[in-house]
Structure 1
Amino acid sequence: MSCSSSLQTGLGGLLLVLLLSGCGDGSASQSYEQRIMQARVQRDMQMREKESVLPPNRRADFRGLDYYGVDSTYRFVTPLQRLEQPDTMMLAENTGRIRAQVRIGRVTIPLPSGNKTLTVFRGASDDPRGRFWIPFADETNGNGTYEAGRYVDLAQAPNDSVVVDFNRAYNPTCAYNPEFACPLPPDGNRIDAPIPVGEKTPKFGQSASS
């Protein structure tokens, strides 16, 4: 397989990065794509670990993570419009309960469908979502992606800007284990357009032993 071969979605595509790691033409776009693929391989491996969020009765049926292809046009560096003081916002959860989340500001994303302003939250210090994160919904939900929406973590950038990379969008934990309580995207973070990048709906099959 040549280094110019296109990356595929699914576990087979994820493992392609092991071959690509030995190919290097130094192009920035390929380097970015490889970093995304490496992160996906790592997440897939974590999901397969004995201590993963997958319940034991579903682990044998797990068929690996599935993703859209990498598209760098869905990576944005944008100013963080901070609130003067972080406040709390009550978000509904998949359990039917509500939970307070720390709201720190907003970002405006120049999507192909037009600008969209999204609310940014701050995770707790021990929260695996990281320091800044956005829960969002879009028109792929229930038709390719998890029906309740997805999350994306933000990376810090110079001049109080942040990187919002939807190629790194991932499913909430409750997509894999319904016993977990997951905040749902607020109405203001619903995008009236598809975001065809990032993690897709989880794949589960039927184990041979069942």
Structure 2
Amino acid sequence: MKPSIIILLLLIPFFSFSQKNGATMVTSKQEAKEIKAIKKFQKDLNEEYLNPKETPLRGDNFTNFKKHPFFPIDLKYRVRAKFVKTENPVPFDLPTSSGKTKSYQEFGKATFELDGKPYTLTVYQSLDLMKTEKYKDHLFLPFRDVTNTKETYGGGKYMDLKIPEGNSIILDFNQSYHPYCAYNAYDYNCPIVPEENKLPVEIRAGVMYEDIYHH
């Protein structure tokens, strides 16, 4: 057997095959794992909004809800960012949609590339949540991008993160979601995305927005 054939046979177990637009595509096991995590995020988010005890939806919005619209999963929007932790962060009050404030501190800066261009987002930590055992390692990443008001909520989107162990952090925009205020502005008090986290590029990933909600 030719050496090239032997190498190909050895590589096959590390790849799976899928169909996209009629073409066969090769997906590595790592990519398959990442896609599985994104699908779980989508499933969990839909279940949350279908659960009357957890959903922010009210009235007809809840009755008519079936599932969220999502951008097609695209691992281009799952990026490894260089992470620099902020030394001696100063607590501050972040304005919210209701005109009130919530207490946060800057936790660090995440710098990544998208289509060959560098971008930086600031990651925050809630002073209230960090006091609880469940959320002590929880980080908050609010951001805006060019899809806002067109295909996503005008106020931007959020992403939940964990404190990284090293000097890098994974930002998976496929797992970004809208604040509750996008669906119910009367009952919720959502942090407004800081100006420094406004991206001058489209992030076509995560939850899309159907402007059918009374907000």
TM-score range for the pair, normalised by the shorter chain length: 0.7 to 0.9
Structure 2 gap ranges (5+) = 1-16, 22-26
Relative to 1, partners in 2 of residues 1:128 and 1:47: Cα closer, same or farther, differing over 3 Å? farther
Decide whether aligned partners of structure 1 residues 156 and 5 sit closer, same or farther in structure 2, where only a CA change above 3 A counts.
farther
1:154 paired to 2:168: no
Superposition deviation, residue 97 in structure 1? 2.8
> Which residue is equivalent to 2:201?
193
Q: Does 1:64 align with 2:78?
A: no
Deviations 1:69-106 (Å, cap 9, x if unpaired)?
Answer: 11111112223211111222332211133333221111
Q: Judge conservation of contact 1:154–1:165 (CA < 8 Å) in 2.
A: no
Structure 1 equivalent of residue 18 of structure 2: 4
**Cα 1:116–1:180 shift into 2, 3 Å:** same
Cα distance change on mapping 1:157 and 1:84 into 2, 3 Å? closer
- Separation (CA, whole Å) in 2 of partners of 1:98 and 1:43: 26
Amino acid at match of 1:59: F
Q: Following TM superposition, by how much is the alpha carbon of 1:187 offset from its aligned partner in structure 2, in angstroms?
A: 0.5
Alignment correspondent of 2:4: none
CA distance in 2 between partners of 1:190 and 1:32 (Å): 26
Distance in 1 (alpha carbons) for counterparts of 2:181 and 2:137 = 17
**Is 1:133 the counterpart of 2:136 in the alignment?**
no
Higher alpha-carbon Rg: 2
In the alignment, is the contact (CA less than 8 A) between 2:58 and 2:184 conserved in 1? no
- Flag the 1:5–1:204 CA change in 2: closer, same or farther, 3 A: farther
| TM norm structure 2 | 0.76
Q: Which residue of the partner structure matches residue 22 of structure 1?
A: none
Task: List runs of 5+ in structure 1 lacking aligned partners.
Answer: 8-24, 206-210
Q: Given that residues 170 and 198 in structure 1 are in contact (C-alpha distance below 8 angstroms), is that contact kept between their aligned partners in structure 2?
A: yes
Could you say if the C-alpha distance between residues 103 and 48 of structure 1 is closer, same or farther in structure 2, counting changes exceeding 3 Å?
same
Counterpart in the other structure of 2:110? 107
Give the whole-Å Cα distance in 2 for the aligned partners of 1:163 and 1:27: 18
| 2:192 aligned to which of 179, 184, 188 | 184
Q: Supply the distance in 2 between the matched residues of 1:184 and 1:80 (Cα, whole angstroms).
A: 23
User: What stretches of structure 1 move > 4 A for 4+ residues in a row?
Assistant: 126-130, 202-205
Amino acid at match of 1:36: I
Equivalent of 1:170 in 156, 174, 177: 177
Give TM-score scaled by structure 1 length: 0.77
Offset at 1:37?
0.8
- Residue in 2 aligned with 1:19? none
Size of the alignment, in residue pairs? 186
Kindly tell me: are residues 144 and 129 of structure 1, through their superposed partners in 2, closer, same or farther at Cα, counting changes over 3 Å?
Answer: farther
RMSD of aligned residue pairs (Cα, Å): 2.6
CA deviation after TM superposition for structure 1 residue 201, in Å: 0.9
